[in-house]
Amino acid sequence: MRRRTFLKTALKATAVTAAGTAAFAALSRKPVQAAPGTAVPSTSFPDDFLWGVSTSSYQIEGAVAEDGRAPSVWDTFSHSYGRIANGDTGDVACDHYHRYAEDVDLMARAGMKAYRFSIAWPRVMPQGTGAVNAKGLDFYDRLTDTLLAKGIQPWPCLFHWDLPQALQDRGGWTNRDIAGWFTDYALAVTARLGDRAKHWVMLNEPSVVAIFGHGTGGHAPGLTGRETCLKAIHHQNLAQGTALAALRKAGGRNWQLGTVLSLQPSWPVGGLDSNYPASLMWDAVWNRSCLDPLFKGRFPELLEADFARIAKPDDLARINQPVDFLGVNYYSRMHQQPDLQGLFGTGYGSAPEGTRKTGMDWPVEPDGLSEILAELQEKYGNPPVYVTENGADYPDSIGPSGRVEDRDRIAYLRDHLLAAAKSIDEGCNLKGYMAWTLLDNFEWSEGYRRHFGLVQVDRKTMARTPKASYDWYASVIRNNAVPLA
């Protein structure tokens, strides 16, 4: 009942618009002060707040056939006709495999202190199991050393969607054996890099992999259906729990172990009672089906019967492992209504009238981030949290200065950081923020037509040009504060 009342009240709350920022900041109990070196008032962050950026292997690396890397499901998918906008593929991506030193320089110049990147499983274990490809690991070894030399903490993520095709051919995430395959791979990677990399992320957004990749089919491997979707969620949870336990044993307290979830509040379209059950169901699928098994050792009530068909008796105990941190990827709320065609009887509808939108038409709802952080505080034991992705696609026009003057992206980041600061004031255990993302890159089924980067990448020359948002983010890091103007 409480949630229902909360949703209704929240729906009436004023959206945070550029004009509303000052009023929003006034909600914060933090003293509003001028940051050193700036004339404008700002909201500051705790001294040890960790600033960084996130990327993922398939979206930036390229070099898909180099040094022994085998195909991933995303190579197969992007090379299948009609799957990706403009027929784009990750074959070259941002050529980060060869230009990583330049990219690390860009991070260092902006003062970033942490970098979450992902390890491409098919580079390290081309067949998914068995033989380790030393040359593949060499790349991440070089990257790790380059980061450390610049004072940037490496935050490797073991799986950001590029599953070896060889494993997909054996059922991929629909095969329960993947819990063991993933754990062996995790042990191989940490054995090589774990003397230097201390923060380890198990998975990136398991519910998204399950829903889009195994439910609706718009992402690799392009499977559809409710049962495959739920199996993919459950087996990712299981793989994560199994790997967490194995790494804890192998590394003791030397490593900080965690995972990354996509958490987006699910609201009933228009605040209507008739849409409320749909919003709860979608919340169970998207958010709780990963959160609840991990933190509470149970399935969300609305999906209990479904998961009971798939799970074995001790699975929940295996999944319910302690984590040292939780990474939260937040972009916007999800506005739900009944839809008989939907996998779970639900579908997306519109955000409240007047809500700003990004280039991808995603609603801009910074207070949704505070909502998620408050939930983690109140219902999940207030674990240490890092925002591991947050950012926006915009068309990005070149300004008079000859570079991208992305005021809209700056406003997006600013408003979300103000929401984050407010949550810290309210007692949320938020320890850091990693923007999505460093470079314009391969945005999955949308190809290269979407731009989330702080740095523009010329698709012909691969030249990197920092956008205005890059300088803005650098100044936030330098001042440890967000300017309100």
- The annotation status of 155 as a binding-site residue, yes or no, is no
- The annotation status of 386 as a binding-site residue, yes or no, is no
Q: Can you tell me which of 57, 262, 287, 332 binds ligand GCO, judged by CB under 6 A?
A: 262
Partners of 34 in beta bridges: 41
The distance of closest approach from Cβ of residue 148 to ligand GCO in the complex, given in angstroms and rounded to an integer, is 24
- The annotation status of 444 as a binding-site residue, yes or no, is yes
Is residue 443 within the footprint of ligand GCO (CB under 6 A)?
yes
Residues 6 or more apart whose Cβ sits within 8 Å of residue 420 = 369, 370, 373, 387, 430, 433
CB-count burial class (<10 Å; 0-12, 13-18, 19+) for 121: buried
As given in the structure block, the two tokens for residue 261 are 């979830």
Binding mask 375-394 for ligand GCO (x = CB under 6 A): --------------x-----
Q: Can you tell me which of 329, 377, 456, 475 binds ligand GCO, judged by CB under 6 A?
A: 329
Is residue 436 within the footprint of ligand GCO (CB under 6 A)?
yes
Nearer to ligand GCO, 433 or 452 (CB): 452
With contacts defined by CB under 6 A, how many residues of the chain interact with ligand GCO? 11
Separation between Cα atoms, residue 380 and residue 295, nearest integer Å: 7
Which of 72-80, 204-212, 239-247, 274-282 is the region at the interface with ligand GCO (rule: CB under 6 A)?
A: 204-212
Is residue 208 within the footprint of ligand GCO (CB under 6 A)?
yes
Separation between Cα atoms, residue 310 and residue 305, nearest integer Å: 9
Buried (b) or exposed (e) across 252-281, using 16+ Cβ within 10 A? eeebbbbbbbbbbbbbbbbbeeebbbbbbb
Q: Can you tell me which of 204, 259, 279, 423 binds ligand GCO, judged by CB under 6 A?
A: 204
Separation between Cα atoms, residue 12 and residue 7, nearest integer Å: 9
3-state secondary structure 12-37: HCCCCCCCCHHHHHHCCCCCCEECCC
The distance of closest approach from Cβ of residue 260 to ligand GCO in the complex, given in angstroms and rounded to an integer, is 8
Q: Can you tell me which of 43, 56, 146, 236 binds ligand GCO, judged by CB under 6 A?
A: 56
Is residue 242 within the footprint of ligand GCO (CB under 6 A)?
no
Residues 6 or more apart whose Cβ sits within 8 Å of residue 280 = 266, 302
The distance of closest approach from Cβ of residue 409 to ligand GCO in the complex, given in angstroms and rounded to an integer, is 13
Query: Catalytic site residues?
Result: 205, 389
Q: Can you tell me which of 412, 448, 452, 473 binds ligand GCO, judged by CB under 6 A?
A: 452
Is residue 236 within the footprint of ligand GCO (CB under 6 A)?
no
The distance of closest approach from Cβ of residue 445 to ligand GCO in the complex, given in angstroms and rounded to an integer, is 10
- The annotation status of 443 as a binding-site residue, yes or no, is yes
Spatial contact of 398 and 404, defined as CB atoms under 8 Å apart = yes
Separation between Cα atoms, residue 218 and residue 82, nearest integer Å: 11
Buried (b) or exposed (e) across 439-469, using 16+ Cβ within 10 A? bbbbbbbebbebbbbbbbbeeeebebebbbb
Closest by CA position to 181, among listed 115, 250, 134, 238: 238
- Cis-peptide, bond into residue 156, ω within 30° of zero: no
Which of 109-117, 202-210, 312-320, 369-377 is the region at the interface with ligand GCO (rule: CB under 6 A)?
A: 202-210
Question: Using CB under 6 A as the criterion, which residues of the chain lie in contact with ligand GCO when the complex forms?
Answer: 56, 59, 204-205, 208, 262, 329, 389, 436, 443, 452
- As annotated, the binding site includes 59, 160, 204, 331, 436, 443-444
> Annotated binding site for substrate: which residue ranges?
59, 160, 204, 331, 436, 443-444
